[in-house]
Amino acid sequence: MKNSLFIKATLSEETERPPVWMMRQAGRFMPEYWEIKNKYSFLEMCKTPEIAADVTMLPVDLLGIDAAILFSDILVTGEAMGGKLSFEQGVGPKFSNPIENSRDVDALEVNCLDNLRYVADAIKVIQERLAKLGDKQIPLIGFAGAPFTVMSYLVEGGSSKDFKKTKLFMNNQPAVAHKLLEKIADVTVDYLNMQIAAGVNAIQIFDSWALALSWDDYKDFSHYYIKNIISRLNRVVPVISFCKGSSVFAPLMAEAKPDVVSIDWNADIRNVKQSLPQGMAIQGNLDPFVLYADKKVIKEKVLRIIERMRGEKGFIFNLGHGIMPDIPFDNVKYAVELIKEFRY
């Protein structure tokens, strides 16, 4: 993978253009995804290595992106621990046995890697497919949810707008919340090390809902566990830390010592990059809503970010959050092609 632009950028080596991939690139905005999705449930897709590989390869083949991301979900760790997980059309993820108290936390399994073996199997199949691309050297990114974000689904029983139950849980039963976060962190370390052993070329940790937290709560209930996880990973591949709320939390994200900090779209990416320790790369940060717009606007806003990073090593182009399901495929492809044609 030495020649992969993506890997070079994670190592803060010089690249002739920024590498590009997009969060949620293997998903619902692609008609080809629906051809598969109409035949299987989401969890069947994740748990059948050949199907997970087919979906992982869609954006590689159809968009020509510079990195693939494993087709799975951040909530499979919660399921492996004992959460009863389902994904319903138009509803999103559901845990039908939400966590309410200490007893519920005690009941969760920590030695549950056997329940996640299908992910290692999928990684092997995907790597066989990527190897067939020959010189192209497309790396595979593995991932997991950060403990706070996974906890929010386990406690809310699904998605939430205000994280009311999660915050009540943290405020009224902090010791129980910490016990839960510690269990999720332990599982996440085993899970990510399993992915690394199975052959992923990079790891991303998603803390999608960190922006709901105050500085102190982010520090105690999120950052502490991310830092702990990163310190226990087998660091043979680069580690990317993403959160929404990164304009505020970037200094703490950096303090957890990932190789790459992945930011949302609020901040000036150059300013954040320059605030990071020497040699720590940055990923971001186009507002995904730009991809709904006219091509002229897409071009202007994509190039503005690339130009802003001129002269900075260690930059991976990405969105500030995932692609929405109804963004036109053509627009996404246009943005990827623009970035791939660019030369500094």
# of chain residues touching ligand 1CP (CB under 6 A): 23
Is 27 annotated to bind a ligand? Reply is: yes
Dist CA 80 CA 336 (whole Å): 35
Is 321 annotated to bind a ligand? Reply is: yes
Contact between 21 and ligand 1CP (CB under 6 A)? no
308: phi then psi, degrees, rounded to nearest 5? -60, -30
Is 24 annotated to bind a ligand? Reply is: yes
- Site pattern 97..136 for ligand 1CP (x: CB under 6 A): ----------------------------------------
Burial (CB count within 10 angstroms: exposed 0-12, middle 13-18, buried 19+), residue 311: exposed
Cβ-Cβ contacts under 8 Å for 294 (sequence gap 6 or more): none
- Other CB atoms within 10 Å distance of the CB of residue 59: 28
If the CB atoms of residues 29 and 224 are measured against ligand 1CP, the closer one turns out to be 29
Is 73 annotated to bind a ligand? Reply is: yes
Contact between 201 and ligand 1CP (CB under 6 A)? no
Near ligand 1CP by CB under 6 A: residue from 28, 165, 257, 313: 28
Near ligand 1CP by CB under 6 A: residue from 11, 17, 32, 42: 42
Asked if 24 and 65 count as a contact pair (C-beta separation under 8 A), the reply is no
Give the pair of three-digit tokens for residue 322: 């995932």
Chain centroid offset of residue 129 CA: 21
Dist CA 102 CA 206 (whole Å): 26
Asked if 59 and 68 count as a contact pair (C-beta separation under 8 A), the reply is yes
Which residues ranging from 138 to 167 are in contact with ligand 1CP (CB under 6 A)?
143, 159
- Residues in binding site for substrate: 24-28, 73, 153, 208, 321
- Positions in the binding site for ligand 1CP (CB under 6 A): 23-28, 37, 42, 69, 71-75, 87, 92-93, 143, 159, 206, 208, 321-322
Binding-site residue ranges: 24-28, 73, 153, 208, 321
